[in-house]
Amino acid sequence: MKAAILSIGDELALGQTLDTNARWLAQQLTDHGVPCVQFRLVPDDHAMQAQALVELARSADLVLVTGGLGPTADDLTREALAHAMGGVPMEEDPEAVASLHRWFRDRGRSMPQGNLRQARRPRDATCVPNDMGTAPGLQARIGSAQVWCMPGPPREMQPMFDRFVRPGLPRLALATGMVHAFGQGESFLADLLGDRMQRDRNPLVGTTASGSVVTARVRGREEASTPQAMEAELVEIARIWKPYAFGSGSVTLAGALGTCLRERGQTLALAESCTGGLAGSLVTAEAGSSVWFRGGVMCYANQAKADLCGVQAGTLAAHGAVSEPVANELAQGVRKRLGADWSASITGIAGPSGGSHAKPVGTVFIGVSGPGFAGVRRFQYPGERAAIRDRAARTALALVRLAVLDPADFHVPFIWESKEHA
């Protein structure tokens, strides 16, 4: 079975809304061993939608559509589906009408007349119940392809997929897995894999980069890839990428750090200047982080660095806030102040202004302090302010993890290495 995904909506085509539905659906298909051969995104345009449906139905056995099932004039998926099915007439579905009236009645509201549009379907198509909203889905065939049209809101689309589409998917036919790494670029890490990247290999290995995290995606082909062979492949990739590899599957950098600390009964504290609490946000996004995270200090101003983390006035005056000595004192100070086993500090120039020849925009010092350990590294991050802050926050978590596991790895080369001295 091959699948295709069609996302519909002006807001997606204009870049005003991120298409998270396609990503989620592709992940579900992958879990069932169903390869997705095409992704399409079209605006609220009848002709473009109908054409996309016809073309995707020729290349895939399963076409999943999201969006365009609302009650307004620009919701055209129903009509586009009828056109793609050969111009079949539209009909009002009595069960869908009853469901709409019931939905509004149960909420003590009068149903706008426009909502009756949502009860219309192409002849030979079937309305799919929507327990989470007013827009029924649609199930139909275009040629030999099975087509499922689902609402755009994820809170409506995902339950509909789980209840009606998922049961018809095959059992897992292709074993899949992922290994994540941080600190080096995609090309560097791909080169380390060597022949594993060949496209005729089984299992098939490919790499992607997102948010400065590089992921090796491993997919077994047919029955030749046993679970044991897949596991061995993932273990070997993690070994090759050591110490940059930090986890597999859904593991995040913060989650990997938390596992290391929790296994050792240790805790973490953070002192953040230019990242303004971003590293702490990544940490607290992890369920159960209260076990190993003591807290963080957002010490943006110099006075806050002194008052909250004990940075000496003389250190600030002699070296400036963005410096190795200040990063060191921040890390040591917040660790002592919050009573943590480990700490990290981040101080830098995120831009777009504030840089100099000696310390250009993107200069960031990150300090780490722990039992019998203290270290500071300087980085030069490219990009805009948001990218600099994000990379700095993730780097701090990665460096603490390296120091916890093996202090000797704290100084392994990172792609954003700065050769300048503090």
Give per-residue pLDDT as tens, 318-370.
999 999 999 999 999 999 999 999 999 999 999 999 999 999 999 999 999 99
Structure tokens at 154: 């994820």
253-411: CATH architecture: Alpha-Beta Complex (3.90)
Query: Which residue(s) pair with 177 in the sheet?
Result: 218
Cα torsion for 88, 89, 92, 96, to the nearest 10°?
20
pLDDT tens track for 195-233? 999 988 888 899 999 989 999 998 876 555 567 778 889
Tokens (6 digits) for 203? 């299992």
Please say whether the dihedral angle defined by the alpha carbons of residues 235, 241, 244 and 250, taken in this order, is positive or negative.
Answer: negative
- Please give the pLDDT value at position 421: 43
Q: What pLDDT digit, counting tens, does each position of 52-79 carry?
A: 999 999 999 999 999 999 999 999 999 9
User: How far apart (Å, rounded) are the C-alpha atoms in residues 288 and 33?
Assistant: 32
Cβ(35)–Cβ(70) under 8 Å?
Answer: no
Grouping H, G, I as helix, E, B as strand and the rest as coil, residue 413 is coil
The confidence score (pLDDT) of residue 225 equals: 59
Question: CATH number of 176-248: 3.90.1150.10, 3.30.70.2860, 3.10.50.40, 3.50.50.60?
Answer: 3.30.70.2860
Q: Is the peptide bond before 203 cis (omega within 30 degrees of 0)?
A: yes
Half-sphere exposure of 334 (CA within 13 A, CB side): 30
For residues 228 and 205, the answer to whether their CB atoms sit within 8 Å is no
For the CA atoms of 74, 79, 81, 82, the dihedral, rounded to the nearest 10 degrees, stands at 180
What is the tens place of the pLDDT at every residue in 221-274? Answer: 655 556 777 888 999 999 999 999 999 989 999 999 999 999 999 999 999 999
> Residue 391: enclosing H or E segment and its boundaries?
helix 385-405
Cα–Cα distance between 376 and 399 in angstroms, integer?
Answer: 10
Residues in the chain: 422
Which residues sit opposite 165 in a β-bridge?
none
The partner residues of 181 in beta bridges, in order of sequence, read: 214, 245
Nearest-angstrom CA–CA distance, 96 and 121: 9
What's the pLDDT band for 422 if we cut at 50, 70, 90?
very low
> Quick one: which of 308, 307, 318, 309 has its CA closest to 369?
309
Tokens 């089984």 found at? 202
Domains of the chain, residue spans: 3-168, 176-248, 253-411
Supply the pLDDT for residue 219.
81
- Residue 370 is predicted with a pLDDT of 98
Query: Nearest 5°: phi and psi at 292?
Result: -120, -5
**Average pLDDT rounded to a whole number, residues 4-33:** 93
Alpha-carbon distance 217 to 248, whole Å?
Answer: 10
- pLDDT at residue 90 tops 80: yes
Residue 229 has a pLDDT of 79
- pLDDT in the model for residue 327: 98
CA atoms of 306 and 179, how far apart (whole Å): 41
pLDDT for residue 199:
86
The beta-carbon contacts of 283-288 under 8 Å, at least 24 apart in sequence, are 283/254, 283/257, 283/258, 283/397, 285/252, 285/254, 286/252, 286/254, 286/255, 286/258, 288/258, 288/262
In which residue are the tokens 């939905």 written?
Answer: 103
Contact indicator for 207, 263 with CB cutoff of 8 Å? no
pLDDT value at position 204?
A: 85
Q: Please identify, in words, the CATH class of the domain defined by 3-168.
A: alpha beta
Hey, what amino acid is at 263? Answer: E
| pTM of the entire predicted model | 0.76
- C-alpha 156/C-alpha 187 separation (Å) is 39
Burial degree of 32 (CB within 10 A; 0-12, 13-18, 19+): middle
